[in-house]
Structure 1
Amino acid sequence: MKIKFLGGAGTVTGSKTLIETNGVRILIDCGQFQGIKQLRELNWESLPIEPKSIDFVLLTHGHLDHCGWLPRLVHQGFEGKIYCTSPTKDIAKLILLDSAKIQEEEAEMANKNHFSKHKIAEPLYDVAQTEKVFPLFRVIKEKEPFDLDPEITAVFQNAGHILGACSITLTMEGKTLVFSGDIGRDDDVLMYPPTKPQKADYIFLESTYGNKRHPDEDVKLSLETYINNTFRKDGTVIIPSFAVERAQTIMYLLWQLMREGRLPDIPYVIDTPMGIDVLKLFQTNSSWHKLRPDECIEMCQMFTMVSDYEDTIKMIYTVQPKVIIAASGMITGGRVLSYLERYIGKPETTVIIVGYQAEGTRGRKLLEGEKEIKMHGKIYPVEATILEIEGLSAHGDQHDLLHWLSALENRPEKVFLVHGENEPADALRFQIQEKYGFDCMVPFLGQEITL
């Protein structure tokens, strides 16, 4: 059995882990690289194997860094089955179509304004290529084992994090391999705690926050304080947000604050068509989260929901103070850029960062104190107040990741720490060895290991 780390090794993006066993090739996740240019350029490279030779793709969840390379994989010849849960299928379709549209628009804008170094800028993939992915999806149920072939069994189990997110257990060649996917928090606002594995010979564990503990922060108090302080300056609050789960969590917290009389009576805007579509998925997948249907309906009534870009333009030029929730969460694209182009240079503006910011993203640069930010080929001075609320992360921290290993009834032969930058991954390696005595390693991108 061979394992090859084609992505999500030494970085939190581009997750792709290839397993080869008895002539069968399985790809766990098929993510898009994001962040620094060196990583983004990897999206244009071909895999070291023929995509047509891959038999199955198993998706842990629908975030772009786990499913965003599927259109390229299919375009290059993959014809196998893509297994995932029902919410993951729905979310992946939304995210992939949104990604394709954004890439088409950005290529068109780059060609129109001549800010691409290429003679003709092209999207990584387009909508037509993306739609060819969808017939390959096969929905499976959580906790129910199924056979990929007579000698390989798979089972998906809740990982928290977002709707439909699962860890995947594969049994083959007499060994049990567990792929964590992204592990949610034990005390998440909306999602249930992740299911812990009980048996594993090999574990592939994410390490996004492997060197951090989320602060014991009163998130509601922080939101209340930041919004009221900005309101007193007649300013606008912009919250760059992942459209899936994070946007809904922020909406829920703001709704609670409004019910408690702790927020000003100003417009609260959710401007992400995908985030609005995900709200519908919350209503149709109630078993995956804690929010009651009646709460979801009441919460939505508080917000102005913007889908059409014409309404985005109107909202941007609305003079009064307001709170805007818009994608993307790392400020790598999406409508949040349109708001920031207008407001990042105003001292009365507050930008609240509420999630992980990968290396090289605009969100990371703002947190690191950059005084200028480049958007759509233009440089904008940063005069807005940049604040962070760490307690809203959908990823488990070091304590959660260590706790996820606590139910194991056997000692795994090895734990591979993936989906993390090198420093967090190595810090988690040390903690796992210290706490459990498990043999751990941090694989590098492109590394192949024989089990």
Structure 2
Amino acid sequence: MKIRFLGGAGTVTGSKTLVESNGVRILIDCGQFQGIKPLRELNWEPLPILPKTIDFVLLTHGHLDHCGWLPRLVNQGFEGKIYCTSPTKDIAKLILLDSAKIQEEEANKANEEHFSKHEKAEPLYNVQQAEEVFPLFRVVKPNEEVQLDAEISAIFTNAGHILGASSIELNLEGEKLVFSGDIGRDDDVLMYPPVKPKKADYIFLESTYGNRIHPEEDVKLLLETFINNTVQNGGTIIIPSFAVERAQTIMYLLWQLKKEDKLPDIPYVIDTPMGISVLDVFMNNRNWHKLSETECTEMCQMFTMISEYQETIDTIYNKNPKVIIAASGMITGGRVLSYLERYIGLPETTVIIVGYQAEGTRGRKLLEGAGEIKIYGKYYSVMAQIQEIEGLSAHGDQNDLLQWLSVLENKPKKVFLVHGENQPADELRIKIQEKYGFDCSVPMMGQELEI
């Protein structure tokens, strides 16, 4: 059996792990690289193996860094089956269409305004190529065995994190390989706790926050404080948010605060068409999260939901205080950029960062105190207040990741730490070895090994 780390090794994005056994090739996740330019450029490179030789893709969840390279894979010849849970299928469709649309729009804008370094800017993939992925999806039920081949089977179990997110247990050649996917938190606002594995021969564990402990902070109090202080100064609050799960979590917390009369009567705006669409996925998959139908309905009634871009323009030029929740969560694209063009240079503005920010993203630069950021080829001075709420992360921290290993009934032969930058992954490696005595390593991008 061969394992090849094609992405998500030494970095948090581009998750792709290839498993090869007796002539069968299985790709766990097919994510897009994000962040610094050398990583983004990898999206344009062909895989080191022909996509048409891959038999199956198993998706842990629908985030772009786990499914965002599927259109390229299909366009380059993949014709196999893509297995995932029902919410993951719905979310992946939304994310791929949104991603394709944004890429088409940004390529057109770059060509019209001549700020691309290329003779002609091209999207990584277009809407039609995204749609060609959808017929290959096959829905699996959690905790039920899926027979991929006469001697290969898979089981998907709840990983928390976002709707439909799963860990994947792959059984082949008498070995049990467990791929964690992105692990949620045991005390998440909306999601149920992740299911911990009981047996595994080889584990592929995410390490996004491998060196961090989420602070014990009162998330609602912080939101209340930031919003009220900003409104008193006549400013607008911008919350760049992942459209899946994070936007809904923020909505839920703001709705609770509003019911408690702790927030002012100002517009609360959701300006992410995909985030609005995800609300339907929430309503249709209530067994995956803690909200009742009534809570979902009442929560949505509090917000103005924007889908047309003209509404975005009108909202931007409304000078009154407001709260804007807009994608993308790492400020790499999407409508949040239009708001920041207008508001990032105003000292009365507050930008609240509520999720992981990959290296090289505008969100990371803002957190690191950048004095200016580049949007669509232009530089904007950062005068706004930049605040972070770490307690809203959908990723488990170091303690959560260690806890995820706590009910194993056997000692795995090896634990590989993936989906993390090198320092967090290495610090988690040391902790795992100290606590459990497991053989643990951090693979490099492109590394191949036999097990």
TM-score range (shorter-chain normalised) is over 0.9
Residue number in structure 2 paired with 1:90: 90
SS at match of 1:6: strand
Tell me which amino acid in the other structure corresponds to 1:296: C
Distance 1:425 1:28 in 2: 19
Residue number in structure 1 paired with 2:6: 6
- State how 1:384-403 maps to structure 2 within 5 Å: 384-403=384-403
Residue number in structure 2 paired with 1:40: 40
Residue number in structure 2 paired with 1:236: 236
Residue number in structure 1 paired with 2:78: 78
- State how 1:223-372 maps to structure 2 within 5 Å: 223-372=223-372
Distance 1:81 1:282 in 2: 25
SS at match of 1:191: coil
Deviation at 1:225, TM superposition (A): 0.3
SS at match of 1:445: coil
Distance 1:191 1:421 in 2: 25
Residue number in structure 2 paired with 1:162: 162
Distance 2:147 2:128 in 1: 31
Distance 1:282 1:107 in 2: 32
Gaps of 5+ in 1: none
Deviation at 1:375, TM superposition (A): 0.2
Distance 2:27 2:281 in 1: 26
Residue number in structure 2 paired with 1:421: 421
Distance 1:89 1:226 in 2: 36
Residue number in structure 2 paired with 1:18: 18
Distance 2:392 2:215 in 1: 10
Q: C-alpha offsets along residues 201-260 of structure 1, whole Å, 9 cap, x if unaligned?
A: 000000000000000000000000000000000000000000000000000000000000
Distance 1:27 1:153 in 2: 14
Q: C-alpha offsets along residues 267-324 of structure 1, whole Å, 9 cap, x if unaligned?
A: 0001000000001111000000001100000000000000111100000011110000
Deviation at 1:28, TM superposition (A): 0.1
Deviation at 1:146, TM superposition (A): 1.2
- State how 1:83-232 maps to structure 2 within 5 Å: 83-232=83-232
Distance 2:241 2:389 in 1: 12
Distance 1:40 1:77 in 2: 22
Q: C-alpha offsets along residues 146-200 of structure 1, whole Å, 9 cap, x if unaligned?
A: 1100100100000000000000000000000000000000000000000000000
Tell me which amino acid in the other structure corresponds to 2:137: F
Distance 1:324 1:123 in 2: 28
Distance 2:291 2:400 in 1: 22
Deviation at 1:432, TM superposition (A): 0.3
Q: Give the paired residue count.
A: 451
Distance 2:449 2:312 in 1: 49
Q: C-alpha offsets along residues 367-422 of structure 1, whole Å, 9 cap, x if unaligned?
A: 00000000011100000000000000000000000000001000000000000000
1:377 to 2:377 alignment: yes
Moved over 2 A (4+): none
Tell me which amino acid in the other structure corresponds to 1:231: V
Distance 1:431 1:193 in 2: 22
Distance 1:116 1:267 in 2: 36
Tell me which amino acid in the other structure corresponds to 2:296: C
Tell me which amino acid in the other structure corresponds to 1:15: S
Deviation at 1:35, TM superposition (A): 0.1
Residue number in structure 2 paired with 1:67: 67
Distance 2:134 2:300 in 1: 29
Tell me which amino acid in the other structure corresponds to 2:423: E
SS at match of 1:290: coil
Distance 2:196 2:407 in 1: 6
Distance 1:436 1:165 in 2: 26
SS at match of 1:420: coil
Distance 1:161 1:307 in 2: 26
TM-score, with length taken from structure 2: 1.00
Residue number in structure 1 paired with 2:52: 52
Distance 1:320 1:110 in 2: 31
Distance 1:325 1:146 in 2: 38
TM-score, with length taken from structure 1: 1.00
Distance 1:389 1:130 in 2: 33
Gaps of 5+ in 2: none
Distance 1:272 1:164 in 2: 20
Identity of paired residues, percent? Answer: 79
Q: C-alpha offsets along residues 2-22 of structure 1, whole Å, 9 cap, x if unaligned?
A: 000000000000000000000
Tell me which amino acid in the other structure corresponds to 2:272: T
Tell me which amino acid in the other structure corresponds to 1:239: I
SS at match of 2:379: strand
Q: C-alpha offsets along residues 41-78 of structure 1, whole Å, 9 cap, x if unaligned?
A: 00000000000000000000000000000000000000
Tell me which amino acid in the other structure corresponds to 1:435: K
Aligned Cα RMSD in Å?
Answer: 0.3
Distance 1:263 1:7 in 2: 43
Deviation at 1:112, TM superposition (A): 0.5
